[in-house]
Structure 1
Amino acid sequence: MTFAKISGLAAVFATTATIAFAAGSDDTTPPKPTATTTQCTSAQVFDPKTRKCVDARESNLSDDQRYEAARELAYDGQYENALIVLAAAEDQNDPRILNYKGFANRKAGRMDVGMSYYRAALDRNPDYVLVRSYMGQAFIQQGDFDAAEAQLREINARGGRDTWAYASLKMALSGTPSTY
């Protein structure tokens, strides 16, 4: 899926769901394309300090930079490249890293592997509502609507009712296909 399609979907979604997207906050909107997806190749990450594409294992990159690059790659459909970048993160137990390992694996067709990463992320942060939303999307893909509904209730119970994570899962449960 292209970033233009994702951006268009996000705009429609915000209007129809009347959910305000918090630009710049963690995981709330599809990432904007950067040089990582427009100029770099394979699993390289654009390093703003050197203004070059570098190997994801480059020691000058922070886990935050790797995470953002992997997110961007995953939303661009480059799941294997996203996983390579995520594997280079120093903190493999960071719930964000685990979540996107789950996302990339699920989107690449490895549902069981993806679900194991979602569970690991929730073990570390049960309040991480985006993990719950993505896990709910996975349950829908598997035809387990009760489990998806349970995740929606958990998101709500954890204060996430006014988030993109809640609205996205709710739309998916109502039959609106999700690309996430």
Structure 2
Amino acid sequence: MLRAVLIAALTVPGLAIAKDRFDDDPPKPTQTTQDCTNGQVWDSRTQRCVTPKSGALDDDTLFGAVREFAYAGQLENAQAALAAMSDQSDDRVLTYWGFTHRKLGDMDKGMSFYEAALEKNPGNIAARSYMGQAFVETGDLVAARRQLLEISAHGGAGTWPETSLRQAILTGTTYNY
């Protein structure tokens, strides 16, 4: 019975409506990735590029920059913006620390951040999707499928985290954002 449910979950197309639980759409390029250099982030208040650690930016602005940098493949810049965020124990911060470390080649460190994010918030479906994709990369499809089931159990059916992990399991190709 469980096997039939899992097979159905892996083959029924999802609605791919959300990139992660923190924002519904992929980040659009802004001045941060179009005009700023050396990991600087656009400050809409001052209308100029600033270093993330300057203290001029709030965590939501920094998180937007993290996502934009990660989406653009600028993982070191994403980490600089993450480091500037005030609450390093926030599960969204932990999730993106995991993502950036994994994509920079440190799978163990990435997994430890995903585990910390899920300990903080078991319903973090973005962390579950990224962790599941890490399992796909290491060939542990059983563990990846467990994360897929957890995503659905936490209300993530039809979301981007669920759809991207399902596709990764089916194709062996993971996402870079």
Decide: shared fold, TM above 0.5. Answer: yes
1:171 is aligned to: 167
2:55 is aligned to: 59
Q: Which has the higher mean CA deviation after the structures are superposed, 33-42 or 170-179? A: 170-179
| Matching of residue 31 in structure 1 with residue 30 in structure 2 | no
CA shift, 1:179, in A, is 2.1
TM-score by length of 2: 0.87
**Is residue 69–residue 75 contact of structure 2 (8 Å, CA) maintained in 1?**
yes
Once the two structures are superposed, the pairs formed by residues 81-96 of structure 1 within 5 Å of their partners are 81-96=77-92
2:73 is aligned to: 77
Once the two structures are superposed, residues 136-172 of structure 1 have per-residue CA deviations (whole angstroms, 9 ceiling, x without a partner) of: 0000001110000000010011111121111110111
Q: Which residue identity does 1:45 align to in structure 2?
A: V
**Structure with higher RCO (Cα < 8 A, 6+ apart):** 2
**Is residue 94–residue 113 contact of structure 2 (8 Å, CA) maintained in 1?**
yes
Gap change, CA 1:24 and 1:107, over 3 Å in 2: closer
CA shift, 1:20, in A, is 5.0
Q: Which residue identity does 1:158 align to in structure 2?
A: H
Partners of 2:79 and 2:18 in 1: how far apart?
A: 26
Q: Which residue identity does 1:50 align to in structure 2?
A: T
**Is residue 27–residue 130 contact of structure 1 (8 Å, CA) maintained in 2?**
no
- Equivalent of 1:43, from 23, 29, 39? 39
State the percentage of identical aligned residues.
48
Q: CA RMSD in A?
A: 1.9
Classify the secondary structure of the residue corresponding to 1:166: helix
2:9 is aligned to: none
CA shift, 1:87, in A, is 0.5
Once the two structures are superposed, the pairs formed by residues 1-180 of structure 1 within 5 Å of their partners are 17-22=13-18, 26-175=22-171, 177-180=173-176
**Is residue 20–residue 125 contact of structure 2 (8 Å, CA) maintained in 1?**
no
CA shift, 1:43, in A, is 1.6
**Is residue 63–residue 90 contact of structure 1 (8 Å, CA) maintained in 2?**
yes
Gaps of 5+ in 2: 1-11
CA shift, 1:18, in A, is 5.0
TM-score by length of 1: 0.86
**Is residue 21–residue 164 contact of structure 1 (8 Å, CA) maintained in 2?**
yes
**Is residue 90–residue 117 contact of structure 2 (8 Å, CA) maintained in 1?**
yes
Equivalenced residue count is 165
Q: Which residue identity does 1:80 align to in structure 2?
A: E
